[in-house]
Homo-oligomer: A and B are copies of this chain.
Amino acid sequence: MVMAQPWCFCVMTISLTLFVVVNATTIPPSSQAQQIHDKVGKLPGQNFTINFDHYSGYVTVNEKAGKALFYWFIESDQSPQTKPLLLWFNGGPGCSSIAYGEAEEIGPFHIRPDGKTLYLNPYSWNQVANILFLDSPAGVGFSYSNTSSDIQNNGDKKTAEDSLEFLLRWFERFPQYKGRDVFITGESYAGHYVPQLSQAIVKHNLKNKKNAINLKGYMVGNALTDDVHDHLGVAEFMWSSGLISDQTYKLLNLSCGNQSFVHASDACAQIQGIAYTEIGNIDPYSIFTPPCSANHSQSNQLLRRKLSSRIGKFSEEYDPCTESHSTVYFNLPEVQKALHVDPAHKPAKWEPCSDEVHSNWKDSPKTVLDIYRELIPSGLRIWVFSGDTDAIIPVTSTRYSIAALKLPTVSPWRAWYHDGQVAGWTQGYAGLTFVAVRGAGHEVPLHKPKPALALVKAFLDGTSLPEAELVRSY
């Protein structure tokens, strides 16, 4: 034991020196100061220690309008300097990536049912990446604009533009991440945001080679992709899972088949309402798990979650009332202070999803498959995954959308394994990998945290998912 001390001391000295050198050469004083300002200390209710740094705050994307986007950046707990940068977006449109992605899916800080104390998510994706959560666009979560009309004029195009602007400015604040491998990920309506931002980055890079963002790929889960195929898949999944009547199945296809998901007609909304009455009080985002409350209300705004009110006591593995806990936690003044939320710009009440943003959404193209077709030849790594017990954007929708791309198969359909069990199924196409996650709902990392971590690790490493040797008798 005595012999170990000089060696330990020596290693520590070298590490500290390296750290100072790297910082001194890459981070200008103004950025250093901003980082120090944004650095988050121990969070309220955090009674565990962590071995990673994390930062939160605003990045102004439009000075004139006074539009600023709120981010939470969580470094990897293992060698952050060698890990890629992973952006995560949630959907809605109108929902906070912090409410869902951070607090109940891939982030390290999850919230207990008391709404006041935290626990460390043992399957946080910051084990394999530095994660950047962005409340996008303005009006969502803690992101704001001083120009109130901005909130009522959000849409896909503006979201992509502002997200790109955010990212460029964020790299100015965190220049040590410039040139780092970047992967953009998200779920649900982020099926629009993720390829749209990827496209915007690719276009930016063509014009700004010196200030390029080193985008390596994107991945979406249970993603809105193509309205026609998505509607087709929803109706078929609902019917084949035994959720709705034969008649409603037919009417869903008739009334919704060619509709926009975000701007559906009254006739489509009406038959969707009938479908949800037939389904009864299950969680359509995860059809086999108990819903938060026996009497919670369900929205026919299919891409967003309504806040559930019951605060129950559940295991840390899966808690159907987790949105309620977030709503308590992120409204606590001490939490907002710790996260550097500006009292002058904080929302009257923090909510996981903004109704105002959702109901005033402008442009929402009926498909983003054209962006896939444009980006696949660029060599980006593109993965599309699907939790197979989600009735909102089900696995059938994703399969129809991918089939519409007519891509050649490069590795045939097969099961993939995790912990000795079938974790799902995968097929490799030229330029795109499909992954189903068995028994997972709309929020895959919420329902299947361990396989989800294995999935993102394979995605980031560019490796294929584990395959088991099977003994079969035919």
Interface residues of A (CB under 8 A from B): 236-237, 239-248, 273, 276-282, 287-288, 290, 294-295, 297-300, 386, 388-389, 394-396, 399, 403, 412-415, 417, 420-422, 424-425, 427, 436, 438-439, 468, 470-474
The residue in chain B whose Cβ has the minimal distance to the Cβ of A270 is: B474
The answer to whether A281 touches B240 (Cβ under 8 A) is: no
Given contacts A244-B413, A403-B246, contact A422 B474 (CB under 8 A): no
The answer to whether B474 touches A288 (Cβ under 8 A) is: no
Residue numbers in B under 8 Å from A474 (CB-CB): 273, 276, 300
Contacts A237-B240, A240-B395, A280-B468 known; list 15 others, CB within 8 Å.
Answer: A236-B240, A241-B388, A246-B403, A247-B413, A248-B413, A276-B472, A276-B474, A277-B470, A278-B415, A278-B425, A281-B468, A282-B415, A282-B422, A288-B439, A297-B473
A412 to chain B, nearest CB (A): 7
**In whole angstroms, what is the CA distance A278 to B287 when docked?**
24
The answer to whether B472 touches A297 (Cβ under 8 A) is: yes
Residue numbers in B under 8 Å from A439 (CB-CB): 288
Among B237, B273, B281, point to the contact of A422 (Cβ < 8 A). Answer: B281
The residue in chain B whose Cβ has the minimal distance to the Cβ of A294 is: B420
**In whole angstroms, what is the CA distance A245 to B434 when docked?**
11
The answer to whether A242 touches B282 (Cβ under 8 A) is: no
Residue numbers in B under 8 Å from A278 (CB-CB): 412-415, 425
A277 to chain B, nearest CB (A): 7
Given contacts A280-B470, A425-B278, contact A396 B297 (CB under 8 A): no
**In whole angstroms, what is the CA distance A299 to B474 when docked?**
7
Residue numbers in B under 8 Å from A396 (CB-CB): 239-240
Residue numbers in B under 8 Å from A237 (CB-CB): 240
A437 to chain B, nearest CB (A): 9
The answer to whether B294 touches A388 (Cβ under 8 A) is: no
The answer to whether B240 touches A288 (Cβ under 8 A) is: no
Residue numbers in B under 8 Å from A295 (CB-CB): 470-471
The answer to whether B240 touches A240 (Cβ under 8 A) is: yes
**In whole angstroms, what is the CA distance A427 to B249 when docked?**
14
Q: Please give the count of copies of this chain that the complex contains.
A: 2
The answer to whether B288 touches A288 (Cβ under 8 A) is: yes
A325 to chain B, nearest CB (A): 21
The answer to whether A436 touches B273 (Cβ under 8 A) is: no
Residue numbers in B under 8 Å from A413 (CB-CB): 244-245, 247-248, 278
Residue numbers in B under 8 Å from A241 (CB-CB): 240-241, 388, 395
A163 to chain B, nearest CB (A): 30
Among B279, B389, B415, point to the contact of A279 (Cβ < 8 A). Answer: B415
Residue numbers in B under 8 Å from A298 (CB-CB): 472-473
Residue numbers in B under 8 Å from A244 (CB-CB): 413
Residue numbers in B under 8 Å from A288 (CB-CB): 288, 389, 438-439
Residue numbers in B under 8 Å from A436 (CB-CB): 242
The answer to whether B421 touches A290 (Cβ under 8 A) is: yes
A457 to chain B, nearest CB (A): 20
A121 to chain B, nearest CB (A): 23
The residue in chain B whose Cβ has the minimal distance to the Cβ of A249 is: B399
A396 to chain B, nearest CB (A): 5
The residue in chain B whose Cβ has the minimal distance to the Cβ of A277 is: B472
The answer to whether A425 touches B242 (Cβ under 8 A) is: yes
**In whole angstroms, what is the CA distance A239 to B233 when docked?**
11
The answer to whether A425 touches B280 (Cβ under 8 A) is: yes
* CB-defined A-B contacts under 8 Å, sample of 23: A236-B240, A239-B396, A239-B399, A240-B240, A240-B396, A241-B241, A241-B395, A242-B395, A242-B438, A243-B425, A245-B413, A278-B412, A281-B415, A281-B421, A281-B470, A282-B422, A282-B438, A287-B438, A288-B288, A294-B420, A297-B471, A297-B472, A297-B473
The answer to whether A414 touches B280 (Cβ under 8 A) is: yes
Residue numbers in B under 8 Å from A386 (CB-CB): 242
Residue numbers in B under 8 Å from A273 (CB-CB): 474
**In whole angstroms, what is the CA distance A104 to B276 when docked?**
35
A236 to chain B, nearest CB (A): 6
